[in-house]
Amino acid sequence: MQTKLYIVVPCYEEVLLITANLFLEELNDLISKNKISDESRILYVDDGSRDTTWELIQDFAKRDEHFCGISLSRNRGHQNAILAGLMEAKDRADITISIDCDGQDDIKAMEQMIDEYRNGAEIVYGVRSVRKKDSLFKRFTAEVFYGLMNDMGAEVIYNHADYRLVSAKVLKEFANFREVNLFLRGMFPLVGFKSTSVYYERRERLAGKSHYPLRKMLALAFDGITSLSIRPIRIITSLGVVVAIVSFILVIWSIVRELTGGTVPGWASMTCIISFLGGVQLICMGVLGEYIGKIYMEVKGRPRYIVSERTGDKETANKVDEAETNKNKEIIQ
Ligand code: UDP
Ligand code: MG
């Protein structure tokens, strides 16, 4: 049986008008090469856009059966739009590829992704090899973004955004990740399974302008860090310990100064109290934060483990098939 692919494309603007034909051409090309089945689809997710995006999607769906779409009731942002598309596709497709609608991600990399899937990978990350076409500022901020993420304990794949192939098997498990703050590129690695990367060149936007200014990128980084890691809390605790140590040294120093008579009355006791309390408070905050961090992780209710395979998976499947055939035979007789 051939692989059914759903290409999930979040859209917030009419750029899709320009890229739709490119996507369709690529899909048809993959179908003609027998890499995917003819039942594969391009699934557009209209993220509550205010222009005619949804009308365009409906038009495409009428024109060619390879197009289909869903429309969100309001703008929920890029990450939610991708998730909506993936969940829509999970029971219909064997594999999904999420890609932006603006033509920045090289669609030619899809073929390689599918080949990697055929070689056994369940997740294939699209990684930008060069960012020649991005402005120096965008490149610099992106570098800082990935550096900051990793330093803060949110492990992400360097230069991978949301262009990735995910199999239906992984998506079924991913559906059990019930958190509301989404940071998909950091969450998929948590699901596990065999994964690999494919490299491509990031292009300029074909039209329109980016909806990810620095402000949104910082917000995404902050969301990513706080939803994947409690390292910031640990930093507070460590800071508390450092301040407490420094204040201890200060206490000794101010006592010495007091004894040698080089201070105005009250200075030593004030310095000691202020620095000591500062240290104690930071440590206490860190400890409280540690508990809040634990509660936060519990509230997410993430699956504690995921079984990737079981012995006898194939035989069980065959037995079910046999039973099904026998039942059908009985009905025919
Ligand atoms: N997008 C979306 N909802 C939004 C903003 C953006 O679905 O609220 C989509 C947009 O249509 C595009 C993708 O997310 O397909 C990436 O957005 P953009 O190109 O603006 O970001 P950049 O590539 O500059 O990071
Ligand atoms: Mg873009």
CA dist 185 and 197 (Å) reads 13
Kindly state whether residue 264 falls inside one of the protein's structural domains.
yes
Gap between the Cα atoms of 158 and 142, Å rounded: 10
Range of the domain at 94: 5-138+158-211
Q: What's the confidence (pLDDT) of residue 97?
A: 97
Residue 148 belongs to a domain: no
* Spatial separation of the C-alpha atoms in residues 129 and 161, rounded to whole Å: 12
- Ligand 2 center–CA 213 separation, angstroms: 11
pLDDT at 269: 77
Which atom of ligand 1 is found nearest the CA of 13? 11
Q: For a substitution probing ligand 1, which of 102, 128, 200, 215 has the most ligand atoms within 8 Å of its CB?
A: 102
Q: Which pLDDT score, from 0 to 100, does residue 82 have?
A: 96
The verdict on 62 and 193 lying in the same domain is yes
Cα of 228 vs its chain's centroid, Å: 10
Position 113, amino acid: M
* C-beta of residue 159 within 8 angstroms of C-beta of residue 146: yes
Is 125 found in the same domain as 62?
yes
Query: Domain check: are 90 and 236 in the same one?
Result: no
- Does ligand 1 come within 6 angstroms of the Cβ of 101? yes
Q: Establish how many alpha carbons lie within 13 A of residue 248's alpha carbon, considering only the half-sphere containing its beta carbon.
A: 7
Domain count, the chain: 2
Residue 150 included in any domain: no
Q: Looking at residue 131, what is its pLDDT?
A: 64
Dihedral sign for Cα 196, 198, 202, 208, please.
negative
CB burial class (10 A; 0-12, 13-18, 19+) of residue 156?
buried
**pLDDT per residue of the chain (333 residues) written in tens, 0 to 9:** 789 999 999 999 888 888 999 999 999 999 999 999 999 999 999 998 899 999 999 999 999 999 999 999 999 999 999 999 999 999 999 999 999 998 888 999 999 999 999 999 999 999 988 766 667 787 788 788 788 888 887 778 888 889 999 999 999 999 999 888 888 998 999 899 999 999 998 777 777 777 777 788 788 888 888 888 888 888 888 888 888 888 888 888 888 887 887 777 777 778 778 878 888 888 888 888 888 888 888 888 888 777 767 767 665 555 555 555 555 555 544
- Considering the domain boundaries, does residue 333 fall inside one? no
Residue nearest to atom 24 of ligand 1 (CA): 210
Model pTM score: 0.79
- Please check whether residues 129 and 266 belong to one and the same domain: no
The single-letter DSSP state of residue 302 is -
How high is the pLDDT of residue 333? 44
Q: Are residues 240 and 206 in the same domain?
A: no
pLDDT given for residue 324 in this prediction: 53
Q: How confident is the model at residue 332, as a pLDDT?
A: 46
Ligand 1, atom 19, lies closest to the CA of 210
b (16+ CB within 10 A) / e for 51-79: eebbebbbebbeebebbbbbbbeeebbbb
- Distance between CA atoms of residues 100 and 88, nearest Å: 17
Q: Is the CB of 78 under 6 A from ligand 1?
A: yes
Helices vs strands, H then E, count in the chain: 11, 7
Same domain? For 268 and 179 the reply is no
Cite the DSSP H helix spans in 77-158.
Answer: 78-89, 109-118, 136-151
Let me know whether 174 and 289 are in one domain: no
Q: Looking at residue 72, which CATH number applies to its domain?
A: 3.90.550.10
Query: From ligand 2's centre to the CA of 210, what distance in Å?
Result: 6
Structural domain contains residue 41: yes
**Local structure of 308: helix, strand or coil:** coil
Cβ of 318 below 6 Å from ligand 1: no
